[in-house]
Amino acid sequence: MKNYILLIFFVLNFGFVVNAQEWTVPAEEAEKVSPYIFEDDFVTDGEILYENSCTSCHGTPTENNFMPFSPPPGDPASEQFQSQPDGALFYKIQKGRGIMPVFENILAEEEIWSLIAYFRSFNKEYVQPEFDYGDEVLSELKFDLDFDENIDKLVVKVFSDGEVEEGIDVSAFVVGMFGKFPLGKTKTNELGLAYLDVDPSLPGDKQGNLDILVRVRKGYAIEKATTSMKIAEPAQQTSLIEGRHLWSTGDKAPVWLLVTFLLIVVGIWGVILYIIFGLFRLKKIG
């Protein structure tokens, strides 16, 4: 009985707290949809961003291990997030409230959409609403890649509808086994060229090849491609247990250890055997 009262009390109280702190989003903001397609690459961008800027409070999605703030930040994979339209999430990330920081001036719109793409990747039922591009004409983007060995820079030449143009966003990544390593983000100059630094000591494969993902964006138009380029040091792949070490396999024991061990064992057992054989000759001694 007592438990019932407690429970009722708790539920009432809970409702009160939630109601009191309802975070309302203006209707027109909530209707906003993403002009970017939520594809794998985009989700990965969001994941990297999330881990850098959001995990500390929101925890790992699906694990419900967010910080115990009031109101609670919530788990992005949870119903609390997934039941909201994209536009509402977009608005809340931009504007912030209380402990939730304002990201408007920190993250570009594209980046915020990538975060939402990441959140939606936990929701199997989600279907991305279509963006109405209206009469906006998407430019056709193309680019060429080159590596300038003298200055260790990746050179990207971008054509928008066949013409070079200044101010087109260019970003590049090295594609690794578990993720993307950003080389940088820049804009084309008046010659349509964008330069990105490449650390020459980056480990490539045996030939020094790296998979480079380049993405260019103008307005809502995005073009990207992954190219294998020979721009890194050929990697010398040596196994940690190659050679004679204390931590190597038994047949690769360090020589000093083998010698010391065997000398000691042979020395002591030599004497032991000498004595044992000597004892058997005891009888003959007069």
Residue 278 in the binding site for other proteins (CB under 8 A): yes
Residue 203 phi, psi (nearest 5): -80, 125
- Our CB check for other proteins shows the closer of 4 and 280 to be 280
Determine which residue in the list 57, 155, 202, 253 makes contact with ligand HEC, applying CB under 6 A: 57
Determine which residue in the list 36, 38, 61, 100 makes contact with ligand HEC, applying CB under 6 A: 100
Count of Cβ atoms closer than 10 Å to residue 28 Cβ? 9
Residue 272 in the binding site for other proteins (CB under 8 A): yes
Residue 206 in the binding site for other proteins (CB under 8 A): no
Residue 277 in the binding site for other proteins (CB under 8 A): no
Residue 187 in the binding site for ligand HEC (CB under 6 A): no
CA atoms of 249 and 261, how far apart (whole Å): 16
Residue 266 in the binding site for other proteins (CB under 8 A): no
DSSP letter for each residue of 56-114: HHH-STTTT-----SS----TTSHHHHTS-HHHHHHHHHH-BTTB---TTTS-HHHHHH
CA atoms of 83 and 96, how far apart (whole Å): 18
Interacting residue ranges for other proteins, rule: CB under 8 A: 246-250, 253-254, 257-258, 261, 265, 268-269, 271-272, 275-276, 278-280, 282-283, 285-286
Judged by the rule CB under 6 A, the positions of this chain that interact with ligand HEC are 23, 53-54, 56-58, 69, 71, 73-74, 80, 89, 92-93, 97-101, 103, 115
